[in-house]
Amino acid sequence: MDHKAATISHAMHTFLARRRLLKVAGGAAGLAALGPAIHPGLSVAAQQNPTELSVGGTVPAAPGYDLPIAEPGTVSLRVATSDNGYAPRSFTLGLEVWAEIEKRTGITIEWEVTPSAQYNDVMSVRIGAGSDLPDVLSLTTSINPVGAGENNIALPLNDLIEQHAPNIKAFLDEFPEIRRLITAPDGEIYALPSVVTDAAYADPMGILYREDWLTQLGIPEPTTLDEWYDTLKRFKTDILEANGVADTAPMMGGNGNLFGAILQFGHALGLHPLYSQGWYVDDDGNVQYEWIDERFKELVAWFNMLHSENLIDPRFHESTKEDRTQLITTNNVGVDADFINRAQEWDTTQAQSGVTDAHWVIAIPPVSEQYPDPYYELYGPLSGWYCLTPNAGNPEIAIKWMDYVWASDEGNTLVSYGLEGITYTVGEDDQLQFTEWVTDNPEGLDPNSALRYYGAMPYFMWIRANSGPLSEMAWDITRINPNAQANAEKVGPYLVPAFPNILPTSEESDETSGILADLNTYREETILRLVLGQDDLDSGWEEYVATMEGLGVTRLVEIKQEQYDRYSSS
């Protein structure tokens, strides 16, 4: 046996033995959190930046057919989905937005809801049993539309859309890239997604920092990894330690996940570790897996340096949201990574705790001499899947209800803006304007919660497109806060689509699931040990790459290549 083969054999034996022990001990469930969920992108090609094109929402057009859809009181739809994002007001309370939708469509909604954090577990049991399914179902993360169709959980929608859903058809005709992403390899559409291409620009993910700390130190915004290192050192010595805080690191690592937003520092090395999950297509059309690239080793080495010098929270891999909030509120953190709406939240939280000069902003994406063009990966364009099940007694009426709620201008305005006279008014030139209930809520609710109070902004099928009539709500929310708008406009030119999340065949899904079960867990365990300095970086990286190859990464790349080629030619 040669040296490389021996290395693979030994490393795989060690890893698989440890994994068997973890399973026996019941620890496998905790290790299943394998980084961020894949959020599919439009393509690897650039797209038009809508940041400067937003003009605000206007009075909606009629849906294009007579309402009500059904005689009131004659049709009901059972709808299973995550409950309202504002927990005190469940959809089951008959929230006003959905009461208005019931009134206009004539269709009664029977909500079967579960809190968002529990939905996957609860609904997976029902889907597994295959009985007592609702009419309209939000799919869990454990099953994709192809699997739902093949297992008789989701009805095929092509003919229903063509014959009964003119607004869905028009939307997919206007956005063929969305149609490509939701069409299964057999040519059928089995589920509709939430579309978030506008929200991706209005509330992007990026590296956030305390601009007031930079001003205090008289230094410019850092742009390279070296400059970020120097800035973190200054934050630690000249601000935290100068204020008597000696043991606190100046940078958080997100919400206890090394494999989340904080990896955007890898953009300085040309990596795509967040929404693309390390997948990238080179100039020759070849799919690359960046988690075993030498550039990722450089990123690991950089994080290891930060950890060894206490520049990143030592509990970055296990801290909670409460830990993060506590450190930020007490003025002990100067850098983190998240959506820009967090900047507004943290400014407010710190002001309430007496830190009135705190000012969080988003940074221009980091660069290097080798990769001088800054970029952040775009969230989206899809989030979640929603299907009709075989239990839908009248699929023609059900798809028309989905057409109204999801794709008509009138229905989308209700879901996005809420109710005229309560959450918005109509101003000059038919422009929609949020009321003070949303912009300056008397009960202290943020704009999202204020809208959700009445049932808008659901964790349910919803279009927030980057152009057209269904495109303005996210920007109108962002414009409520000047800092949020400034942050969005600052990085808008640097947002690029992520690697597309392409629907697999059932055979591809089965094979990749088998590979990823061990590969992702091993990847997370090993990279964490390297960052924490528990393994030697050079020898540990060599063993890591060899083991990843032995666990099937080469075959995984082949499957991704086949999927990408199929997607590109569709």
Element (H, E) at 75: strand 75-82
Q: Which residues contact 240 (CB under 8 A, 6 or more apart)?
A: 246, 248, 250, 332, 334
SS3 570: coil
CA distances from 443 to 29, 213, 344, 416, 439 (A): 39, 32, 18, 21, 11
- The angle at the Cα of 261, spanning 488 to 27, to the nearest 5 degrees, equals 150
Helix or strand (DSSP H, E) at 80? strand 75-82
pLDDT of residue 471: 81
Q: Are 158 and 189 in contact (CB under 8 A)?
A: yes
Q: Give the E-state strand segments of 249-329 in sequence order.
A: 279-281, 287-289
pLDDT of 13 reads 43
User: Crossing angle for the helix pair 553-569 and 506-531, nearest 10 degrees?
Assistant: 130
- Evaluate whether 50-201+380-484 and 205-377 have a shared fold: yes
pTM of the model: 0.88
**CATH dotted code for 205-377:** 3.40.190.10
Q: What is the pLDDT along the chain (570 residues), one digit of tens a residue?
A: 444 444 444 444 443 443 333 333 333 222 222 222 232 333 333 345 666 667 788 899 999 999 999 999 999 999 999 999 999 999 999 999 999 999 999 999 999 999 999 999 999 999 998 878 999 999 999 899 999 999 999 999 999 999 999 999 999 999 999 999 999 999 999 999 999 998 899 999 999 999 999 999 999 999 999 999 999 999 999 999 999 998 899 999 876 666 778 899 999 999 999 999 999 999 999 999 999 999 999 999 999 999 999 999 998 888 888 888 899 999 999 999 999 999 989 999 999 999 999 999 999 999 999 999 999 999 989 999 999 999 999 999 999 999 999 999 999 999 999 999 999 999 988 999 999 999 999 999 999 999 999 999 999 999 988 777 788 899 999 999 999 999 999 999 999 999 999 999 999 999 999 999 999 999 999 999 999 999 999 999 999 999 999 999 999 999 999 999 999 998
Residue type, 228: W
* Residue 131 pLDDT: 79
CATH topology assigned to domain 50-201+380-484? D-Maltodextrin-Binding Protein; domain 2 (3.40.190)
Please name which of 318, 304, 204 lies closest in space to residue 254, comparing C-alpha atoms. 318
Q: Please calculate the CA angle 303-304-306 and round it to the nearest 5 degrees.
A: 60
Taking the C-alpha atoms of residue 481 and residue 485, their distance in angstroms, rounded to an integer, is 6
What SS3 state is found at 57?
Answer: coil
What pLDDT was estimated at residue 528?
A: 95
DSSP label at residue 340: T
For 388-445, the DSSP string reads E-TT-S-HHHHHHHHIIIII-HHHHHHHHH--BTTTEEE-GGGBEEE-HHHHS-TT--
At 246 the pLDDT is 85
All structural domains of the chain with their residue ranges: 14-38+501-569, 50-201+380-484, 205-377
Q: What is the pLDDT of residue 328?
A: 92
